[in-house]
Amino acid sequence: MLWIGAAEKETAPAAGLIAEIQSKKVQRVDVLFTPDGLVTRSEVNEKSLEQISSQTVTVTKLTQNKATPLLLKALQGVNNNPTNQNLDLRWGCKFYDIQGHKIHRLYINCIPSFGSLDGKPVTFSTNMINWIYAVKEQRNK
């Protein structure tokens, strides 16, 4: 059997974001929260999440933040999600470079093992929601 061309190498969905955090290209993250227990009549998308979020926590100096190792571990566990299920978002993260340009966006579904990274459906480990609440806890201290 003859194969023409090379097989496409699949990379981890969050590999680029991880590298950009480690290289300090990511300078700031805005973490969006909706009220706990929020019930809606329709699914919450990225735009509506930004409108209804009840709290935004900004994390600067990401490489120095004590919760960042948990974020990196969570991002290592991100996998592609081939299902095309609709998302009902509750948390969001917008990652910015030093000039203030949004370079990545990550959103987490009401069932926190699902979400999106840069518009592509992914799955998360529990480390992701643990990081989200670690950031919120730091803010509340």
pLDDT over 50 (residue 1): no
| Percentage of the residues of the chain whose pLDDT score is greater than 70 | 90
In contact, 81 and 107? CB cutoff 8 Å: no
- pLDDT band with cut points at 50, 70 and 90 for residue 91: very high
Is the pTM higher than 0.75? The answer reads yes
**pLDDT, averaged across the chain:** 87
Are the C-beta atoms of residues 59 and 104 closer than 8 Å to each other? no
The pLDDT-based confidence of 2 (bands split at 50, 70, 90) is very low
The pLDDT, as a whole number, for residue 6 is: 42
Going by pLDDT thresholds of 50, 70 and 90, the confidence category of residue 10 is: low
Structure confidence by residue, pLDDT tens digits, 61-80: 888 889 999 999 999 999 99
**Nearest 10 degrees: CA dihedral of 123, 126, 130, 131?**
-40
43-62 pLDDT, tens per residue?
888 998 888 888 899 999 88
